Amino acid sequence: MANPSDPADTDPAQNLSQNLSRFANLGFEDFRRMASDASLSAWEKIGFPDSYRQGVEQHIFADISRKLPALNATQQVVLDIGPGCSELPRYLIDQCLRQQHRLVLIDSAEMLALLPSGQGIEKLAARFPDCPELISSLQGRVDALLCYSVFQYIFAEANIWSFLDACLSLLAPGGAMLVGDIPNISKRKRFFASDKGIAYHKKFVGRDEAPEVLFNRPEPTFIDDAVVMGVLARCRAAGFDAYVVPQDSLLPMSNRREDILITKP
């Protein structure tokens, strides 16, 4: 499988520019094609090697549930933009069925076809925010909005501000949105410049060799601290609270990824 979601992870701090083009090239249409490719596992269809997600998605869901408490209430409106097709959306579907939520899943038809259906589960085949009818029908009504491991693709191939503005317009008073699993290259560099990161890299590559970490240069197509801070500033200016929150250390990429939690007062 040649397209992990965070390609630089294939060799933690090497070949960044080579991996960068692969990262930039993975988009909505690639995921649609991968969803239909029977030779790929469920994780490979969403761009991860099995080893990144197998056996840990229950921890990811637990982390998400702590950050989106509406998931544990009853009869809420829940929206998942880009659920993919692995175990993670199945945990969400099960929780929504148990708690009698209305759950709207937006992804390609090919990806959604791989997910189970059920009472209160609605599947919309669309590329968000190119779904004006749904956006208009859900204005100010969503209690929990999940966008997990998707924002980097929006950043690489679309307009993050249009995406974000559309998402914010959907939140109900007291509602929350989790922009989860953001690969922030600034956080990644901080980690690989640390003693812990150097030891991690040496173990990963199996050689006594420090990672090469380069600062003060443009990083086209990568999300960095400037983007993360820009997202916070835009949400706050629009009347929302917005925070950078760490991932549980049980999560496989918590040393180089982070989440943004946005709440509507």
Ligand X SMILES: C[S@@+](CC[C@H](N)C(=O)[O-])C[C@H]1O[C@@H](n2cnc3c(N)ncnc32)[C@H](O)[C@@H]1O
Residues that bind ligand X (CB under 6 A): 5, 28, 31, 46-47, 81-84, 86, 88, 106-108, 111, 127-128, 148-150, 153-154
Least distance in angstroms from the C-beta of 150 to ligand X: 4
Contact between 203 and 182 (Cβ < 8 Å): no
Run of H or E including 234: helix 225-237
The smaller minimum CB distance to ligand X, of residues 157 and 224, is found at: 157
Least distance in angstroms from the C-beta of 94 to ligand X: 15
Contact between 26 and 6 (Cβ < 8 Å): no
- The token pair that represents 51 in the structure block: 């080893």
The smaller minimum CB distance to ligand X, of residues 16 and 35, is found at: 35
CB atoms < 10 A from the CB of 96, how many? 23
List the helix and strand counts (H, then E) for the chain.
13, 7
Least distance in angstroms from the C-beta of 200 to ligand X: 22
**Pairing state between β 77-81 and 241-245:** unpaired
Least distance in angstroms from the C-beta of 153 to ligand X: 5
The smaller minimum CB distance to ligand X, of residues 55 and 174, is found at: 55
The smaller minimum CB distance to ligand X, of residues 83 and 211, is found at: 83
Question: What is the rounded CA–CA span in Å between residue 76 and residue 44?
Answer: 31
The smaller minimum CB distance to ligand X, of residues 88 and 251, is found at: 88
Least distance in angstroms from the C-beta of 169 to ligand X: 16
The rounded radius of gyration (Å) of the Cα atoms in the chain is 18
